[in-house]
Amino acid sequence: MEGEILFTSNFKFLIFFLILGIISCSSSKWYRKLPEHSLKKVKIPSGKWKKGINPRMPMNSPVYKDDVLETIKLYEDDSFEKTYSSTVNYSNTSLKILKKGKGRYEINGNWILLKLEELDEKEFENNLLKNEKVVEKENTLLYYFWEKENLIIPMIYEKAFEEKDFGVKDGVTRPYDESEKNLYNYIRIYAFKEFQSHAYFYTGEN
């Protein structure tokens, strides 16, 4: 009898922790989807958004420079194009990596979900194409449109179509809650970093 009670008690604890783990895993991925409840319609401008990036140059190296450009273009038909380019110039050599991703986007309130479908990667040396690869690449990532600063920012850091598990989401305790002050505090932290800003600022270009 005592053994049965102990087994039942342990089984209940096991079920409890399994449920807790499932809830934790699902909530940790909230930045891969839009809020389920409908939010007030917001007009998010179509056109080009550009990430604030400074050229990288090793100290005391007048012959080496890495110019990086990252942009997102939102089109009226709910498609988008995301571009990453890195051009390294040193001595008499120029190396360039160009990545272009295409997909669809969805909006709910100030939240934008980019759904990547295809990625085209090219490598150039002295303006001559050396390699090209086009692959299907499915990925979703949630961005927030902050109208005050006219920027969009992902919930985790992304660069060159690769992601790191840190960013604005670390300051969010209640997903999608725009009344939470921490949300905007963390947006400021990561949007206005002098090095490796996470945000894309609206340029007004088509």
Q: Tell me, yes or no, whether 24 lies in a domain.
A: no
Query: What's the predicted TM-score (pTM) here?
Result: 0.83
| pLDDT of 125 higher than 50 | yes
Cα angle for residues 161, 164, 167 (degrees, 5° grid):
110
Q: What is the pLDDT of residues 71-99, one digit of tens each?
A: 999 999 999 999 999 999 888 899 999 99
CA dist., res. 25 & res. 203, Å (int): 37
Q: Is residue 4 part of a domain?
A: no
Domain boundaries, position 104: 33-202
Residue 133 lies in a domain: yes
Number of domains the chain contains:
1
pLDDT in tens, 8-37: 555 454 454 444 344 434 455 999 999 999
